[in-house]
Amino acid sequence: MNDEKVLSFFREILCIPRESGHEEKIVEYLMEFGRKRGLDTKRDEVGNVLITKEAAEGCENWPVVVLQSHSDMVCEKNSDVEHDFTKDPIKYEIKDGWMIAPGTTLGADCGIGIAAELAILDSQDLKLGKIEALFTVSEETGLDGANAISSDFFTGKILINLDSEDEGQLFVGCAGGLDTTAVFNYTPCPMPEDYICTRFSVSGCIGGHSGDDINKGRANAVQQLARFLYEVMPLDIELCQIDGGNKRNAIAREAWATVAFPEDCEDDIIAAFNRFSEEVKAEYSVTDPGIEFTAEPVTFKDDIIDTASAYCLIAAMAAAPHGVLAMSADIEGLVETSSNLASVKMIGDNKIRVGSSQRSAINSARHFAAARFEACFALAGAQVTHESEYPGWKPRMDSPILKTTVDAYKRLFGCDPIVRAIHAGLECGLFQGKYPDLDMISFGPTIVGVHAPGERLDLESLKKFCALLEEVLKNVA
């Protein structure tokens, strides 16, 4: 399978809007792709697409293989970048062997998986068994497509998930996840007389995937902003506005708050902010060398958040668990349980929403992580809900497709791949529940910085990924 052909299809995909929940264009593209080639093509009610390519001559008795990717992407951009994900193609550059989206996400997660499936469906010279190419929707917002898929949508008993991002590693298990949301009601109040306003911002954090990168110790902009606000609460501050983070599965890179305070407190508050900034820059000098803190005087004439509600919000965010909560006792180096303080948004009707996600391979540990987050915010008076839970994927070390893939990797590259589980969520856990006899594995090329601007694809690893996928498919008989 030619990696240039895969890249050609990926470049087409970069021009198609496919934010989670808005996959209409990519679904239409996939349906048309299959029809044009005379392949059996169908979609279900939620938008999952299945394109089937019959076995080549002489391969009719080979087992059916399901190749699976999700059709949506995380749409994140830096605040100073002009980009409309509903219509603008993703801009990229090739530099030092990497394909990079400078100010946005690239969507190689999971666009490369889609492109690899299309290249196989389009090929005329590969002698393979029957292939069922499955494209699920809204994976990034709760694995909605996989959750809604019927137990008879595909027929294959072997599934290769193409949603992994570390070449040389084969994944046979993953964590389950759960979203927890807290909503505060506040009372709008007039600005106290003789108060001045400053907008405090945290930016330049690297961010990243809330599962795969949660153990890297990176700064969370929402958490750092709450940390500063809690520190200066005794200085008679009032909270006017607050905003930070976006997606529940991304570590927050930017956050800001407009704060009002008596004019005679300005020197103390700015001094505290400058001191805080230097301390945090030192703390994160290795993981987030580009972190920035800015304080800018602003004019604010609208109503502000009542003092009691602002205190409860800030205190809860400062106390909320974020980061690694437990490491696995079974698999060395694997994060077992984590929580991500993802976002804070003013959503109208005098409400403020705080979003988060919890992950764990152990159901009880995941539920307790969510309960800890709930406890922080319930004690502060917020309404807390849980949604979009999905199961983990239990490793099967005697898996036939695992052995086939390990053997193929050794033949091609002369070394052993790493076999492991991942803390990020994969749809395999949901497939396992609906297709209990399914034999699954997940692998992909190296993609760095997923769910954050600057996401990049290692082109050399793409060549190895394409070769491995072809070799595995040729040896499943």
d(Cα 138, Cα 89) in Å, to the nearest integer? 20
Give 213-238 pLDDT, tens digit per residue: 999 999 999 999 999 999 999 999 99
Cβ(366)–Cβ(176) under 8 Å?
Answer: yes
Question: Which of the following is catalytic: 3, 19, 23, 72?
Answer: 72
Query: What span, in angstroms and rounded, lies between the C-alpha atoms of 293 and 205?
Result: 10
CA separation, residue 26 to residues 73, 75, 86, 135 (Å): 11, 14, 12, 10
pLDDT at 28: 98
Q: What is the pLDDT of residue 79?
A: 87
Is residue 72 annotated as a catalytic residue, yes or no? yes
pLDDT at 331: 82
Could you report the per-residue pLDDT of 434-466, keeping only the tens digit for each? 999 999 999 999 999 999 999 999 999 999 999
Percentage of the residues of the chain whose pLDDT score is greater than 90? 94
Residue 332 predicted with pLDDT over 90? no
What is the pairing mode between strands 176-185 and 188-189? Answer: unpaired
Active site residue 76: no
> What mean pLDDT do residues 12-28 have?
97
Tens of pLDDT along 107-121? 999 999 999 999 999
Q: Per-residue pLDDT tens for 125-149?
A: 999 999 999 999 999 988 999 999 9
The answer to whether residue 279 scores a pLDDT higher than 80 is yes
Output the pLDDT for position 24: 97
Is the model's pLDDT at 27 over the cut of 80? Answer: yes
Count of alpha carbons within 13 Å of 368, Cβ hemisphere only? 10
Cα–Cα distance, 218 to 190 (Å, whole number): 37
Tokens describing residue 425: 């969520």
Measured in whole angstroms, how far is the alpha carbon of residue 318 from the centre of its chain?
23
- For residue 141, the model assigns a pLDDT of 87
Provide the pLDDT confidence category of residue 395 given band limits of 50, 70 and 90: confident
> What was the pLDDT predicted at 1?
82
**What pLDDT shows up at residue 319?**
97
**Token output for 273:** 């902010």
Whether the pLDDT of residue 191 is over 90: the answer is: yes
Give the pLDDT score at 361.
Answer: 87
Q: Looking at residues 179-194, what average pLDDT do you find? A: 96
pLDDT band at residue 260 under the 50/70/90 scheme: very high
Residue 317 DSSP code: H
Catalytic residue among 19, 132, 139, 374: 139
User: How many CA atoms lie within 13 Å of 3's alpha carbon, on the beta-carbon side?
Assistant: 14
458-474 pLDDT, tens per residue? Answer: 999 999 999 999 999 99
Percent of the chain with pLDDT over 70: 100
Question: Residue 442: what pLDDT?
Answer: 97
pLDDT at 60 over 90: yes
- Per-residue pLDDT band for 185 (boundaries 50, 70, 90) equals very high
- Quickly state the pLDDT bin for 11 (edges 50, 70, 90): very high
Helix (H) or strand (E) holding 276: helix 266-283
Confidence at residue 464, expressed as pLDDT on a 0 to 100 scale: 98
Domains by residue range for the chain, with CATH: 3-174+393-474 (3.40.630.10), 178-390 (3.30.70.360)
**For the whole model, what pTM was predicted?**
0.85
Scored b (16 or more CB within 10 A) or e, 122-156 reads bbeebebbbbbbbbbbbbbbbbbbbbbbeeebbeb
